[in-house]
Amino acid sequence: MTAAARLQLRGVQKAFGETEVLAGVDLQVHEGEFVSILGPSGAGKSTLFQLLIGGIRPDGGTIHFDRAPLHNGTARFAFMPQRDALMPWRRILDNTTLGLEVQGMDRRAARAKVAPLFAEFGLQGFERHYPAQLSGGMRQRAALLRTIVQDRDMLLLDEPFGALDALTRAAMQRWLQTMWKRHRWTALLVTHDVREAVFLSDRIYVLSPRPARVLHEFHVPLPRPRDASSSRLEEASRIEAMVLATLLTPEPAGEQSS
């Protein structure tokens, strides 16, 4: 196991009844790294997240975090689903403190911890608004604030921008890049969007159709911040084309591209 890897999956297998979902998945995420998982629908990407947060157990293989076996109930991950899951009857301030309150923190203390972050997340002045009064992008920023304020070791992002329109999604991707560069969160993203994965990631794992295995690991050497300069667009387009080719024409397991 690589010493610098925070998360390490080796040969992870999972089946539901007679349906084999994961057929020996290997991947790793290093400290401060942004890694994405791409694959066809039903390939088991969300199943991987359920294994990490303890919703289900693997049938085979190993999962280690900081070189120790990951056990059910180990609170190492902050999970953000595709939908913002904000409670419509709670104001934004109280939505963002929800995770802390569930962990047992007093509401007053939770509010004090969250309050200084509203400006950084572009939500200052909206603390007492209800979710229905916010735009889609603002709701997603509130959901991410609720996620990161829990101070977990790693972020799990399950298509967090999938429900947004194209323009809002692009703006949120640029915003997330800025926030990640500032805080250097360790993050694992599930997405169907090849361009999003290339724009945000240090590395990308491409999964095969179910039962899933890793077809390719792509390294994304583009410098940050990733802007619209012609040379960077050309390199990003080249990587996107290789990722798409892998998704559309699965290759034998074990081959990797950098």
Summarised one tens digit per residue, pLDDT across range 237-256 is 999 999 999 988 755 544 44
Give the pLDDT confidence of 135-168 residue by residue, as tens digits. 988 998 899 899 888 888 899 999 888 778 888 8
- DSSP label of 208: P
- 92-98: long-range contacts (C-beta < 8 A, 24 or more apart)? 92/123, 92/126, 92/127, 92/128, 92/129, 92/130, 92/131, 92/134, 92/142, 93/127, 93/128, 95/131, 95/142, 95/146, 96/142, 96/145, 96/146, 96/149, 97/146, 97/149, 98/146
Give the other-Cβ count within 10 Å of 20's Cβ: 15
- Check whether residue 167 and residue 142 sit in a common domain: no
Q: 14 near 62, Cβ under 8 Å?
A: no
- Check whether residue 230 and residue 180 sit in a common domain: yes
What is the CATH classification number for the domain harbouring 216?
Answer: 3.40.50.300
Q: How many domains does the chain have?
A: 2
- Check whether residue 95 and residue 69 sit in a common domain: no
Residues comprising the chain, all counted:
258
- Dist. CA 67–CA 55, nearest whole Å: 21
Q: 95 near 130, Cβ under 8 Å?
A: no
Element spanning 234, H or E: helix 230-248
- Check whether residue 192 and residue 103 sit in a common domain: no
Q: What is the DSSP string of 36-66?
A: EEE--TTSSHHHHHHHHTTSS--SEEEEEET
- Check whether residue 100 and residue 116 sit in a common domain: yes
Give the pLDDT confidence of 58-74 residue by residue, as tens digits. 999 999 998 888 876 56
Domain boundary among 107, 124, 152: 152
Q: 201 near 34, Cβ under 8 Å?
A: yes
What residue ranges in the chain does DSSP mark as E strands?
A: 5-16, 19-30, 34-38, 60-65, 68-69, 77-80, 154-158, 187-190, 203-207, 214-219
- Check whether residue 1 and residue 44 sit in a common domain: yes
> Cα angle at 63 between 3 and 96, to 5 degrees?
95
**pTM of the predicted model as reported, rounded to 2 decimal places:** 0.86
- Check whether residue 180 and residue 231 sit in a common domain: yes
- pLDDT per position in the chain (258 positions), as tens? 445 689 999 999 999 988 999 999 999 999 999 999 998 887 888 889 889 987 788 999 999 998 888 876 567 888 888 778 899 999 999 999 998 998 889 999 999 999 989 988 889 999 999 999 999 889 988 998 998 888 888 999 998 887 788 888 888 888 888 888 888 889 999 998 999 999 999 999 999 998 999 999 999 998 887 776 656 788 889 999 999 999 887 555 444 444
Q: What is the largest CA-CA distance in the chain?
A: 55
- Check whether residue 201 and residue 243 sit in a common domain: yes
The boundaries of the domain holding residue 197 are 1-76+154-258
